[in-house]
Amino acid sequence: MLYDSNATHYVWIKKFSTLDAGRTKHVGTSFVCNSCLSVFRSQRVLDAHIPNCLQHAPQQVQYPDPDDCKLKFKDYDKQLPLNFYLVCDFESFLTPATDDDNDLEPDAKTHVVDHHNVSGFCCYRVTDLPQYQTPPKVYSGPDVMSHFYEHVMSESQAISTILSQQIPLSPMSDDDLRRHRTVTIHSHMPTTRSDTTVTSRANTYFQRVIGVISS
């Protein structure tokens, strides 16, 4: 259906195959499902498809709002550097599955062939602060996941303790001051009185990061 300022017009599609000819590289007649608009190469395949397709509602194309149809990057906080993060790697070996494993779900369309048994792990704390760098934790033996969980929780506690320290700010260098003055606060919202508070908090956070690294 076509619209203009004064009237509404219907369009007669005489041959769906010709309309959708450019959707595939197939040379020849194509067969289109009127419900989901999928294209098939033969009438036989289309006839086999229709009973399953009609179990679902017909496809309807919805175009985005013209005022909100552009993909925009909004997670500016994800660009802030992290002082700490953990890098982990696991080692495992395969053991053959037994018949009992597949008997648990007799109607399943897939079957269990092997089991991944974790045999060890390595966990490394990554930080740009030399005083808090530690050697990698390596473990191989029984009950691997329990040891891994205990190590991760201990690292979480240690990192939380480090980040909770109140360290006085060190004097900023000329380069730090230059970077500080060029910081831009990205916002898609209209300017309000609270913008000064946001800017102040962002500047305070930036100074704290510089202070931790400098000290």
Give the number of domains in the chain: 3
Examine the domain organization and report whether 53 and 126 are in the same domain.
no
164 token code pair: 């909770």
Examine the domain organization and report whether 53 and 93 are in the same domain.
no
Examine the domain organization and report whether 98 and 131 are in the same domain.
yes
Q: Please state, in angstroms and rounded to a whole number, the distance separating the CA atoms of residues 72 and 77.
A: 14
Placement of tokens 């300022």 in the chain: 5
Range of the domain at 57: 2-62
Examine the domain organization and report whether 149 and 109 are in the same domain.
yes
In the listed set 21, 37, 62, which residue is the last one of a domain according to the structure?
Answer: 62
Examine the domain organization and report whether 136 and 181 are in the same domain.
no
Q: Is 138 within the bounds of a domain?
A: yes
Over its length of 215 residues, how does the chain's per-residue pLDDT go in tens digits? 555 667 777 777 777 777 776 677 777 778 888 888 788 888 898 899 989 888 887 766 777 888 878 888 888 888 888 889 999 999 999 988 877 766 666 677 777 788 888 999 999 999 998 999 999 999 999 999 999 999 999 999 999 999 898 888 788 888 888 888 887 655 444 444 444 444 444 444 444 444 444 33
Q: Please state, in angstroms and rounded to a whole number, the distance separating the CA atoms of residues 35 and 16.
A: 12
Examine the domain organization and report whether 148 and 88 are in the same domain.
yes
In the listed set 13, 34, 62, which residue is the last one of a domain according to the structure?
Answer: 62
Q: What is the pTM of this model?
A: 0.47
Nearest to 182 by CA among 196, 203, 157, 197: 203
Placement of tokens 């660009």 in the chain: 79
